[in-house]
Amino acid sequence: MAKKKRTAWQWFVRIIAGYEITIVSILLLLLIVFFSTLEQAEAGLYVVKQRYYAFDAWFVQPELRGGLVPLILPGAYWVCVVFTINLIAGGIVRMTALFLKKLDSPTPKLAKFTKFIGIFISHMSMATLMIAGAVDYHLSSTTMLAVSEGESNQVGESDEDVVIEVSEIVDGVSTRVHVIGNDQIGSMILNGEASSFSSRVKQKTFTFENFPFHLEFDGWYRNGRVLPASERGKEGDGPVVDGMFVRAAELLTISEGERINQYNQSVEQSKRRYSRNVSASYLNVVSKDGESQQVVLFDNFRNPSTVTMDGKTYGFRICHRRTILPFEVALRRLEVQKYQGSLMAREYVSNITYEIDGGKNKAKISMNEPLRYGGYTFYQARWDPLTADTELREKEIAKQKEAGKEPSFTDDTRFQSVYQVVYNPADKWPEYCVYVCGVGLLIHFVVKLIMFTLASFERKETCEK
């Protein structure tokens, strides 16, 4: 009997629900994770996330040790999209078609249903897990919240998202503030002219309706140092502006930054090295009649760089995207436990107070035990001794304990704790998806075991007859 030819729709479903796409998608994701992990050590986390995992990263060519790998990979976001469609098609369309096809067989309908239900549940849970990743990407936000002992804070700053503030300064106060967001300057940060270590990038222009000028960014440094003109002399040093210039510095990766941060905790504040990438840029402020004034922007400048135009003063500064939390977090005490004979922290625990239902609630946050509240998750990211005298601090805490008092701190004994605060509507989805997938696989394996056992008994009875 000749086989019935498949229709175009059947071929389409066969392709998108096929195991071939499943296998290729998994292999591609493994390669993407492998190369992005290696590249992160040189380029840093922010750049790797944008190159490999961003929505607009259609294709990427891995770069290792300053050279390009002869391999073109699709962006991880779109591989996940294809994989999710494949899971849904395989779980709903294909499984439903097979179930309906088996209805005409003499097997009881309940048996047919139990044969497919386990795999269907597993497919849907994995598809939901992929959707949770999309929700995380598009709707979640991350900020760093720094709180000193005896103080409270509810304003966090992003470690990654850099923004530019443009304002008119009146009586020393910034007014009419316009923010150039990270989404507008992201391509400028990533598309470097130099090596992946210095990352000075091409010029980019921004115009404004309410200001009598436009801006031309001429040289953005993902990690730069602003130095006095007397130290200029290395190849690649930027031009001198107002007695200073910008020099590119090697990018710090996350692991390097953490190691430097740990090193910094054993030295005085005044002797510290930089523990993170510090952005810098040359900015040309061009008036409507073509007159240009150049200023230097630096992430570590406390005050904006200024120009005067038409009798008004305008300020420009690099800062990090700020997030205002709906409640305050107060740090009562930071407990730091160090490895024996070492200055490296083994564990640090924050004793905090936060609002709950209009009242105050006490909690602890440690490296492995985050706090979840109000849709936010607080992770213990790092700690900072600031200018504290550690020995004096321990003595003061011991005295206060003997007196039965709650520890209090001064500028000479106060530590600071930094939390990574994550808002993610799909925070618990992956956990639930793993549970549901486990249930689905358990149902499938149990059904298969029962069917195999029953079939064995039937064969045995047939042989005995």
pLDDT digits over 46-88, tens only? 778 888 998 888 999 998 887 888 999 999 999 999 999 988 8
**By the 8 A CB rule, do 252 and 276 touch?**
yes
pLDDT of residue 454: 81
Taking the C-alpha atoms of residue 412 and residue 319, their distance in angstroms, rounded to an integer, is 28
Longest dimension (CA), the chain: 108
Indicate the residue type of 224: G
Could you tell me the CA-to-CA distances from 320 to 163, 189, 246 in Å, in that order? 6, 14, 20
Distance CA 283, CA 277 (A): 19
Model confidence at 98, pLDDT cuts 50, 70, 90, reads low
User: CB count, 10 Å around CB of 296?
Assistant: 23
* 235: nearest Cα among 282, 203, 273, 194: 194
Per-residue pLDDT band for 16 (boundaries 50, 70, 90) equals: confident
Residue 49 one-letter amino acid: K
Compare 103 and 57 and report the one with higher pLDDT. Answer: 57
pLDDT tens per residue, range 373-391? 888 999 988 877 766 666 7
Q: What is the pLDDT of residues 236-281, one digit of tens each?
A: 888 888 899 888 887 665 443 444 344 344 434 333 444 567 888 8
Cβ atoms of 335 and 352 within 8 Å: the answer is: no
pLDDT, tens digit, for every residue of 21-33?
999 999 999 999 9
What pLDDT is recorded for position 29? 95
From the CB of residue 7, how many other CB atoms can be counted at a distance below 10 Å? 9
More confident residue, 113 or 446: 446
pLDDT band at residue 205, thresholds of 50, 70 and 90? confident
